[in-house]
Amino acid sequence: MKLRLLPILLATALSATACESLATQSAKTASTAPAAASTNPADLNDLEIAHVAYTADNIDIEYAKIALRKTSSPEVRAFAETMVRDHEMVNELALGLLKKLDAQPQDNFLSQKLTADAAGISAKLESLNGSEFDMYYASNELGYHKAVNNLVETAFIPNIENAEMKELFKAGLEIFKAHEVHAEMMVKQLGG
């Protein structure tokens, strides 16, 4: 996961300054400009960023649902329940905001990359059982939240133009950071 997100994060860091104005512009023209035009996360407009966030939330919910089916660990189960609960809440709020703005989230290269990578991880989770499953799930959650939190904090929040959306992402970042701490506790409890 870290390897998959690293190029995105690096691209975001490298192009953050240069693409600041471009990102603003792309957000404004997101409804008309082709999404494949850029692979830089910082180039994503507000609607694309919202799509990435929505996709990332659903991916984590899917991981959690797999865990709830397979784990016998109370700690893992509790964490998985929280992931479902919190990410569904964030998605609900994000969709509510989009509805309020009368806008539709736009698919983009980053959302597609995340979805593709999630398919491989879900397959891995389905193949593991017991403590191996628990440890893989816990470690993946810790890495996943670290990468996403970094992306949101450094690439998304600074580039979001809509004030309400920016505030929602700030709140989301706190949630995901809490999840990161929780995941770290879970890894330690599992002996990782």
Q: How far apart are the first and last CA of the chain?
A: 17
Answer yes or no whether residue 116 interacts with other proteins by CB under 8 A: no
Rg of the chain on CA atoms, in Å: 17
Is the distance from CB of 79 to CB of 182 less than 8 angstroms? yes
Binding mask 40-79 for other proteins (x = CB under 8 A): --------------------------------------x-
x/- site string to other proteins, residues 156 to 175, per CB under 8 A? ---------------x--xx
- Please pick, from the candidates 81, 126, 132, 164, the single residue that binds other proteins as defined by CB under 8 A: 81
Rounded to 5 degrees, what angle do the CA atoms 30, 32, 34 make?
A: 80
Virtual torsion, Cα 74, 80, 85, 86, nearest 10 deg? 120
Q: Kindly tell me which residue out of 2, 181, 188, 192 binds other proteins, with binding defined by CB under 8 A.
A: 181
Residue 128 has φ and ψ, to the nearest 5°, of -100, 160
Q: Rule CB under 8 A: which residues touch other proteins?
A: 78, 81-82, 85-86, 89-90, 93, 171, 174-175, 177-178, 181-182, 185
